[in-house]
């Protein structure tokens, strides 16, 4: 299903205009300094203040799905955790920041770069409206707006709204699932901690049909101002991923290269397409 919104001629003109002049005609001093390498503070769980996601305002239907998911994980499965096959985490989970994050601010786009699967994002700040049709993605389509919240003449807060998702997506490795209709809307307020310019705050509000109400979580990230040449590690999920899904079942490829069950008494996969006998 394509997400139905709209690019109009005006927006197109604005975007083209930004592309032509944006790189060279702007007031550089209006934007905050978010450069550097940002690491998440704490473990990569969704709500830093709620380790087991017990405060997640799930609907009854999704409470049941989550309970089933947890039981499956205890039995050796992956439940509703979709990234074990190296699917992109998507939004909002990407903001767990599994690998260090770099933010590059330009007048027309703010780029969030994370060297993990496909977690990088473009946040368009060129004044565009939602396109009429958007190909859904795990990261969604993000439009941002810079705010000068304290009236000092400089931007300090980036407000972002993200729509047009595909799934499956979960909040974190617990498998806490977003609704399968993928109608999520994510709103963010990103700003530096006023007391510490090396702490970045992201207030994330998720509006999703698996929730009984909007769910707001605040995440924090740290940068080391002394690290002027940070190393950016390339994390390749598929390189050493031993999880294999065959049919609807998950299996594991052992270190000696054999297919293994992931659950007690799990039957082997159907090999009906093979004529030769197993090795």
Partner 1 sequence: MIRKLIGATAFALALGVAGADAQIPDLSKYPDWSGQWRRPPGLGIQFDQTKPLGRGQQAPLTAEYQAIYEAGLADQAAGGQGTDPTYRCIPFGMPRMTSAIFPFEFLIQPHTTFILSDYNMPRRIHTDGRDFPAEFEPNFAGYSIGQWIDTDGDGKYDELRIETRGMRGPRSFEASGIPLHEDNETIVKERFYLDKNDKNVIYDEITTFDNALTRPWVVTKKYIRQVGPVVWFEQNCSEDNHQVLIGKENYFLGGDGLLMPTKKNQAPPDLKYFNLPRR
Nearer to partner 1, 35 or 55 (CB): 35
Residue that the structure tokens 């510490």 belong to = 196
Nearer to partner 1, 59 or 106 (CB): 106
Q: Is residue 12 near partner 1 by the rule CB under 8 A?
A: yes
For the segment 73-132, give every residue that binds partner 1 (CB under 8 A). 85-88, 102, 104-107, 111, 113, 115, 117-118, 120, 122
Nearer to partner 1, 62 or 77 (CB): 77
Residue that the structure tokens 């405060």 belong to = 55
* Residues listed for the chain: 279
User: In this structure, what token pair is assigned to residue 70?
Assistant: 């947890």
Q: What is the CA radius of gyration of the chain?
A: 21
Reference 146, options 190, 92, 104, 207; nearest CA is 190
- The binder of partner 1 chosen from 22, 48, 127, 167 (CB under 8 A): 22
| CB contact set of 119 (below 8 Å; sequence gap of 6+) | 88, 89, 94, 98, 99, 139
Q: Is residue 248 near partner 1 by the rule CB under 8 A?
A: yes
Nearer to partner 1, 64 or 245 (CB): 245
- Residues contacting partner 1: total by CB under 8 A: 74
Q: Tell me, what DSSP letter sits at residue 94?
A: G
Q: Is residue 23 near partner 1 by the rule CB under 8 A?
A: yes
Q: Is residue 3 near partner 1 by the rule CB under 8 A?
A: no
């Amino acid at each position: 299903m394509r997400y139905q919104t709209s690019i109009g001629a005006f927006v197109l003109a604005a975007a083209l205009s930004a592309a032509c002049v944006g790189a060279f005609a702007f007031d550089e001093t209006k934007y905050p300094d978010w450069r550097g390498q940002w690491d998440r503070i704490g473990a990569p769980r969704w709500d830093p203040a709620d380790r087991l996601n017990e405060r997640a305002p799930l609907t009854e239907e999704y409470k049941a799905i989550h309970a089933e998911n947890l039981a499956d994980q205890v039995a050796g499965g992956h439940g509703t955790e979709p990234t074990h096959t190296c699917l992109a985490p998507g939004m909002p989970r990407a903001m767990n920041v599994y690998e260090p994050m770099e933010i590059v601010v330009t007048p027309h786009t703010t780029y969030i770069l994370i060297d993990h699967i496909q977690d990088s994002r473009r946040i368009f700040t060129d004044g565009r409206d939602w396109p009429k049709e958007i190909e859904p993605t795990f990261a969604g389509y993000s439009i941002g707006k810079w705010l000068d919240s304290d009236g000092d003449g400089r931007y300090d807060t980036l407000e972002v709204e993200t729509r047009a998702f595909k799934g499956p997506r979960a909040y974190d490795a617990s498998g806490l699932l977003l609704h399968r209709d993928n109608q999520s809307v994510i709103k963010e307020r990103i700003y530096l901690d006023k007391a510490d310019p090396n702490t970045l705050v992201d207030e994330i509000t998720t509006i999703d049909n698996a929730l009984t109400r909007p769910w707001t979580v605040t995440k924090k990230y740290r940068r080391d101002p002394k690290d002027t040449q940070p190393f950016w590690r390339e994390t390749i999920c598929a390189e050493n991923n031993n999880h294999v899904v065959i049919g609807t079942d998950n299996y594991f490829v052992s270190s000696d290269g054999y297919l293994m069950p992931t659950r007690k008494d799990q039957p082997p996969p159907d090999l009906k397409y093979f004529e030769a006998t197993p090795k």
